[in-house]
Amino acid sequence: MSEWEQLLTVAMEPVHYLVNPQKRIFWVYLLSSGLIALALVVARREDITQFISKALSPKVWFHPSSRIDFYWFFFNHMLRVLLVVPVLGGGLTLAISINRVLYRWFGAGDFWQLPELSVSIVFTLVLFLAEDFSRFFIHFLYHKVPFLWRFHAIHHSATILTPMTLYRIHWLEMIINSVRSLLVIGFVSAMFIYCFDNGVHPVTVFGAIITSFLFNMAGSNLRHSNVWLGFGRLECWIVSPAQHQIHHSVAREHVDKNFGATLAVWDRLFGSLVLSRDTQVKAYGLAGKSVEQRFLSQQLGL
């Protein structure tokens, strides 16, 4: 296969996101979010035809803000495949390296021997908590460190939210997120490999870790949409789509609120939690700042 054919193959890979259960825009997750949205429309006695027409409107999907989402999506995908993955490797490689260091420094591990299913369940839960807190904390830093905010602001400059807005991130942020995920998976896996005399495998559904699967099936794609879905009292524990929309709000009182990915407990601890009840979001974007939707000019941040 020639270099041009390889490049074309890489460029076409994003289409496979729709059939990959490990991606947020997997068709099952999109369908789940769509059905939840329709159920809300029926429950609220709204016009279904009007809702569908608005959701599929070209004015939404071809809006200048939405087009930028797609540009970043394809650009970051190619960068990840051609540079990030080959350079950083995978979490398993790091886990094996850390395990060797632990073995050399502290001797043989394997302190506990439990049923493999029990180890897998505990490993999945610990990995989920570590991943979720690390996402919250790095997100917190993106907003609080001026240098990082310069690049994270690109994500918040979206004035129209669609499921593709998830991928509207600067390549530097994408690299930081990849390193964060690599370190978390590597360290957690290494500790379990060292401490337990079992094979370490997360509990999965259709090839996706069960915690991610449940999160995505619960309407995760509605977070970047105009569908308002709150979780009531559960919002003190789990971040709802409406709470993430509050995070994108231009209102001053919503700035630097609801950093959480899945669990709301981190926002409660850091004092940044805002519930969706009795709250409204009138517009999305950067508070007090109008940004021209141009992909090339965003390369240097905002």
Angle at 200 between CA 198 and CA 203, to 5 degrees: 125
Which is it for the CA torsion 216, 221, 227, 232, positive or negative? positive
Domain residue ranges of the chain, discontinuous segments joined by +: 3-291
Phi, psi of 136 (to 5 degrees): -60, -50
Question: Considering only CA atoms, which of 172, 216, 247, 180 is closest in space to residue 31?
Answer: 216
Taking the C-alpha atoms of residue 176 and residue 194, their distance in angstroms, rounded to an integer, is 27
pLDDT band per the 50, 70, 90 thresholds, residue 301: confident
Q: Any idea what DSSP says for residue 234? A: G
Whole-number pLDDT of residue 3: 55
User: pLDDT tens for residues 138-174?
Assistant: 999 999 999 999 999 999 999 999 999 999 999 999 9
pLDDT band per the 50, 70, 90 thresholds, residue 190: confident
Decide if pLDDT at 11 tops 70: no
Decide if pLDDT at 87 tops 70: no
Instruction: Mean pLDDT check: name the lowest of 58-62, 191-195, 270-274, 279-283.
Output: 191-195
pLDDT band per the 50, 70, 90 thresholds, residue 192: confident
Whole-number pLDDT of residue 253: 92
Determine the average pLDDT of the residues in 1-17: 63
User: pLDDT tens for residues 218-247?
Assistant: 999 999 999 999 999 999 999 999 999 999
Whole-number pLDDT of residue 164: 96
Whole-number pLDDT of residue 225: 94
Instruction: Mean pLDDT check: name the lowest of 61-75, 101-115, 167-181, 198-212.
Output: 101-115
pTM of the predicted model over 0.85: yes
Q: What is the chain's mean pLDDT, rounded?
A: 88
Return the amino acid letter for 59.
K
Residue 86: CB atoms within 10 A of its CB come to 9
Q: Which residue has the tokens 């141009």?
A: 294
Whole-number pLDDT of residue 200: 77
